[in-house]
Amino acid sequence: MELMDLSWMAWTQPTTIFFLVIAGLILGLSIWEYFSPGGGPRTGLLRFETTRGDRLFISLLGSAFIYLAWLALVGGSLWWGLVVCVIFALLVFLFV
């Protein structure tokens, strides 16, 4: 059996790391949910009930927009953008 040619997908090391981190986050939340069912719903700053999965989705979506803004306004190295995204995700998990 011949393997598919996936060269068009441009699987670089950063792309692979990105998808592995996302898979790791989902796996971690799944394990957390197994040991502590219910998702920890709470009402935060957004004034509607969110679970851990909702907060992860909000933090990932917000991080995508932070990175896009970082590239448009600052450019160059994305390491400081990563710091901003991690702080954003922590704030989302604490207050949303």
Taking only the tens place, the pLDDT of each residue in 10-56 is: 777 877 888 899 999 999 989 988 998 877 788 888 888 998 889 99
pLDDT in tens, 80-93: 998 999 999 999 99
Res 2 pLDDT > 80: no
10 Å CB burial of residue 85 (0-12, 13-18, 19+) is buried
Strand 42-43 versus strand 49-50 pairing type: antiparallel
Residue 2 forms part of a structural domain:
no
Is residue 7 in some structural domain?
A: no
**Residue 75 belongs to domain spanning:** 12-95
Tokens of 61: 């979506």
The residues near 40 (Cβ < 8 Å, ≥ 6 apart) are 51, 52
Q: Within a domain: residue 4?
A: no
Q: Residue 61: what pLDDT?
A: 95
| Count of domains observed in the chain | 1
